[in-house]
Amino acid sequence: MLKFNRISFFSVMGIATLFTGLAGFARSEEAVKKITLAEALDLMNANHPRIHAAEASLRGSEAGLRGVQNLPFFAKLSPDMKYRRQQSELGIEVADAGLRQEIRDTSYGVARSYFLVIYTKQQQDLSEQVLQVLGKNIKVLELKMALKKTPEDEIKLQKLKLGVVEAKHKNSLAATGFERAKALLREEVGGRNKIGLIEPMETEFPSYDLLGLLTPEFIEEMIEKTAVVREEIIKSSKASQILALEVNAQRSARFNPKFRTFASGSDLHYIPIGVQGRGENFTPEAITIEMPSSLVGKKSDRVARAQAFADRGAAVEESTKNLIRLEVRNAFQLLMETRTNFNELKKVEPELRKIISELHDNQLKFLNADNAELFEKAGKMLGSFNYTKFITMDNLADLERITSGNFSVGLTCPATITNDGKRIK
């Protein structure tokens, strides 16, 4: 009969358990996947709950139309039924525009968070480079002071140490910002539970030369094109038509003191443009449509009230177009302002990086007061340049959303403009 050595047996079991635990720990260390912006947008379309919700709304509107079409024969004899069918068909168009709007809005959120991760990583790298320069120069100065200490060197050492404190604070902020930006990106593409850990594949922003294209005539053209295809305008236009049909529906009911409206069995899912802001960042307030679930009174009174709601719907449509035009114009003005700053900083970027690199490689240069001041300014200007690049990308992605793709460099939708500012036919 075989006999087990108790000590050896349990030792083997303990080692096996240990390795099993280590394997489980290794599996728990989730790998970070590097993805492109296009891949992030694909993940968003497949996983984001806001898009799923908009798709569900569209399916609900389609089911509502089928419900009207499949009513029993006697129910179809109701005098308002033909108008309800037309309203249901328009409701599908509203829901479809709502889905497209949600995709555009969410795509912008993905692009912005994607670029935010790149920007915060650049700022983190820059602050670490500054810390390295300061640390090396402190060591050099301390070695010099070990041989001969002077009051001037003591002051320099104190300034360097204060610079390290400030640089560490900025590095900590950049590191925290980097982690928060990654968390935001994961959320915008659908959430970590579905997606896992992701980071942008790119470390630099693409370059665009667009200022020559942004003439007043081009901007006006983009404004008018957007006023035709923007999803919110389509929604307000269809909503206005639905309200106008309600006037006919109420007119068809001759003897009912209380008669239902389309609002009793449907929802336009109408979302107004923008939010009113006051003070320095003032923006006009959007207005919304109104319609109760039923109207009460004589036919003439019900028709008059339905007409008032229809007039309000027409005003909403006009207001929406005006707000969209203002939004497009402001977005282009912001882009031109940012690009002007970008071009000025781009001219000096090579020299700024040369200054940082030389002071990093040759510590003794930094001990000169002029070099110390130059180093500080170069670091700040490079940080500003990184921010300007991020804001430029943010503006471009937002313009693709705002113009419904009429102006696009291909970040969130098919490109209509090349990187060097030429139109794609």
> pLDDT of 113-138, one tens digit each?
999 999 999 999 988 888 888 888 78
Exposure string for 357-387, b = 16+ CB within 10 A, e = fewer: eebbeebebbbeeebbebbeebbebbbebbb
Angle, vertex CA 201, rays to CA 196 and CA 207, nearest 5: 140
- Residue 13: the pLDDT is 42
pLDDT at 152: 83
pLDDT the model gives residue 22: 47
Within the chain, which residues score under 70 in pLDDT? 1-30, 192, 265-287, 359-370
- Cα 395 from Cα 412, distance rounded (Å): 12
Q: What is the pLDDT of residue 364?
A: 52
Q: In this predicted structure, what is the pLDDT of residue 11? A: 47
Are the C-beta atoms of residues 189 and 47 closer than 8 Å to each other? yes
CB atoms near residue 277 (< 10 Å)? 11
The domains found in the chain, sorted by start residue, are: 33-402 (1.20.1600.10)
CA distance linking residue 239 with residue 221, whole number of Å: 26
pLDDT at 346: 85
The predicted pLDDT at position 284 comes to: 55
pLDDT given for residue 209 in this prediction: 83
Give tens-digit pLDDT for 42-98: 999 999 999 999 999 899 889 988 988 888 887 778 888 889 899 999 989 999 999
